[in-house]
């Protein structure tokens, strides 16, 4: 369980095919700012994806990516030198500053607009139409693991908007991402369970 409050950015040190597991990848990341509190078997959110540390050597942690993870996220496109958002899993007593984030990605979105403002950046993100019904104005959404509030919704074009403050731009990868770049999307867990509940009841809701 995570909160979507990125603690630091890590740097990809190596991406290679894991020959023992076919198309699976082994990802090595310099997690320098988290190394002191991370051990083998721990869960870390990497660009919003919950991954397990399989080995650690100094500041470098290794993660195995299975085919399903590569298919549903943008982690398979990472290369050496890329920066990634990192967040360790919640501990008892930690503050809950964002929203409940599971690290289970629902889909990959694409940045279709980046509008620079005086004190913020407005970013438009296009997603698959099936995801738009879960995204509500003023609701929560995790974008590459960053907990954000939905600032606008364009259902016609399957685009939602988020407003990024200077701090978010400085401490996360969203600060240097632009039009055409992909981002991992996790919808609010409350919307996911509500949709599932309605599906198994006789209540009819118009989601258009």
- The CA radius of gyration of the chain, in Å to the nearest whole number, is 17
Q: What is the pLDDT of residues 37-60, one digit of tens each?
A: 899 999 999 999 999 999 999 999
Q: What is the domain partition of the chain in residue ranges?
A: 8-88, 107-199
Say if CB 156 and CB 177 are below 8 A apart: no
Q: What is the pLDDT of residues 54-108, one digit of tens each?
A: 999 999 999 999 989 999 999 999 999 999 999 999 887 777 788 889 999 999 9
- Concatenated DSSP letters of the chain: -B-S---EEEEEEEEEE-GGGTT-EEEEEE-TTTGGG--TT-EEEETTEEEEEEEEETTEEEEEE-HHHHHHSSGGG--TT-EEEEEEPP-TT----S--B-S---EEEEEEEEEE-SS-EEEEEE--HHHHTT--TT-EEEETTEEEEEEEEETTTTEEEEEE-HHHHHHSGGGG--TT-EEEEEE-HHHHHHHHHHHTSS------
Question: How many residues does this entry show for the chain?
Answer: 208
How is domain 107-199 classified at the architecture level of CATH?
A: Beta Barrel (2.40)
pLDDT above 70 covers what percent of the chain? 94
Decide: pTM greater than 0.75.
yes
Residue 25: the pLDDT is 92
Mean pLDDT of the chain: 91
| CATH dotted code for 8-88 | 2.40.30.20
Query: In this predicted model, which residue has the larger pLDDT, 175 or 205?
Result: 175
């Amino acid at each position: 369980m995570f909160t979507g409050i990125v603690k630091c950015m890590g740097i990809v040190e190596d991406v290679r095919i894991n020959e023992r597991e076919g198309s699976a990848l082994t990802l090595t990341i310099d997690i320098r700012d988290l190394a002191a509190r991370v051990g083998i078997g721990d869960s870390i959110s990497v660009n919003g994806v919950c991954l397990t540390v399989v080995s650690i050597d100094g500041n470098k942690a290794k993660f195995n990516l299975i085919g399903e993870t590569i298919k549903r996220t943008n982690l398979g496109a990472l290369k050496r030198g890329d920066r990634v958002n990192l967040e360790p899993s919640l501990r008892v007593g930690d503050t809950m500053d964002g929203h409940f984030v599971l690290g289970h990605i629902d889909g990959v979105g694409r940045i279709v607009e980046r509008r620079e403002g005086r004190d913020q950046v407005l970013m438009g993100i296009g997603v698959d139409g099936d995801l738009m019904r879960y995204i509500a104005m003023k609701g929560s959404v995790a974008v590459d693991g960053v907990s954000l509030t939905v600032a606008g919704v364009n259902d016609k074009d399957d685009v939602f908007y988020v407003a990024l403050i200077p701090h978010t731009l400085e401490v996360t990868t969203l600060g240097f991402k632009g039009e055409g770049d992909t981002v991992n999307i996790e919808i609010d867990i409350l919307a996911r369970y509500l949709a599932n509940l309605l599906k198994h009841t006789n209540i009819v809701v118009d989601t258009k």
